[in-house]
Amino acid sequence: MFLAYKSNRLRKNIQSDTFGKNSDMSTTIRKVQEADFPQLLELFREFAEFQKTPERMTNSLEKMQQEKDFFEAFVAVNEQDKIVGYGTWFFTYHTWVGKSLYMDDLYVSPDYRGTGLGQRLFDSVRQVAQEGSCNRMRWLVSDWNINAQEFYKKIGATLDHTEMHCELVIK
């Protein structure tokens, strides 16, 4: 079962250099901890607003705590210990290519966009895929989010317009 995959190498912190729009802005990227859940929920809501679908964000602190064994993420933490970005993922198996990693979300707060933080979060998730011997990474990008599409193209991803995202809510 791929969901149980853990790596001691992934538990290390990835320290950043000072960068970005303000010369005093620096962040640390690290694995998520349960104590991060309340801050992450706020960012999930922020991301849902950004995606123009706030009504679809139904997660809760209780649900996250109950389902924590299924939740994998890196968080970007600023010098004030505020989470300003995250990348979430899970392992899956695709019939055509085998073991894969699905990046569920990659989100950076507006004040930290354009600083390289999205690239660093993406690279951290990609490292999980590489260390996990995955054959492919897969994720979605909104058709209206041209900035994200250009970012993904720049790092070598292909955008596949032949498939549509399907969803079924299970209660």
- H helices within 6-145, ranges in order? 37-50, 61-66, 117-131
Closest CA to 115 of 34, 48, 19: 19
Catalytic residue, chosen from 5, 86, 93, 152, is 152
Residue entry with tokens 């498939």: 163
DSSP 152: H
Work out the number of other CB atoms within 10 angstroms of the CB of residue 72.
21
Residue 99's alpha-carbon distances to 11, 31, 33, in angstroms, are: 22, 22, 26
| Catalytic residue flag (residue 152) | yes
Q: Which amino acid makes up residue 138?
A: R
Q: Which residues are catalytic?
A: 152
